[in-house]
Structure 1
């Protein structure tokens, strides 16, 4: 068993839960109730669900990798999942730093949840 990947998987499940519960309440519901046309609302809703599925499947993959440590291809999959979470964290950091807000790192704090999954996954992929 790979403890790093297990910790990454458990953390990823936490991130997925925060996204599903908090994201729906704080982001999706307000945006769907605003004056946007139906098509952009539908796209927003679909993309939010896609990210939800992506986060859950990544968590499942990490837990599976932790239990099957050392099997062929597991390192490549772990590096892929790590890169994926690094890219998500980077997207939030770039956006939040480019807007010009005061105390920007905490205006869109999602990167704080995403980056630990990446770090734990990198530690387990070695």
Structure 2
């Protein structure tokens, strides 16, 4: 077992549940009820479900690789880890644009995304 990669997967699955259930209440439903045209609404909803899919698939993949200690999949773990680090940087940059120093509290998603990437990288280092 690779506890680092396994932990990254567990955090990703946790994040996916937070995204799917809590995210529907806060950003998605109010946006869908807004007066925006249907095209931006449909685009947002499609992107929302793509993110949900990525979170679940990455989580399942990392849990499986970590549980069985599949060292031969280190390139896949590396790719997933880099993606999640980039995702966290995107949230910090977008948040900085809108909220400056308050980005860390107003857009806290980076706090769940960054550990997935870092733990995945640690799992590769400590194979």
Q: Same fold (TM over 0.5)?
A: yes
The reply on whether 1:28 has 2:25 as its aligned counterpart is: no
1:103 is paired with a residue of what secondary structure?
helix
Which residue in 1 is equivalent to 2:3?
3
The 1:102/1:67 distance shift into structure 2, 3 A limit, reads closer
Partners of 1:14 and 1:120 in 2: CA distance: 15
2:82 is paired with a residue of what secondary structure?
helix
| CA apart distance, 1:101 | 4.2
Partners of 1:100 and 1:117 in 2: CA distance: 24
Count residues in correspondence: 125
Contact 2:87 2:113 in 1 (8 A): yes
Which residue in 1 is equivalent to 2:42?
42
| CA apart distance, 1:69 | 2.2
2:69 is paired with a residue of what secondary structure?
coil
Structure 1 moving runs of 4+ over 3 Å: none
The structure carrying a bigger helix percent of its residues is: 2
Partners of 2:98 and 2:13 in 1: CA distance: 29
Please, what is the CA RMSD of the aligned residues? 1.3
Gaps (5+ residues) in structure 1? none
| CA apart distance, 1:23 | 1.1
Partners of 2:85 and 2:103 in 1: CA distance: 19
Which residue in 2 is equivalent to 1:113?
112
TM-score normalised over the length of structure 2: 0.92
Which residue in 2 is equivalent to 1:99?
98
Gaps (5+ residues) in structure 2? none
Partners of 1:99 and 1:46 in 2: CA distance: 23
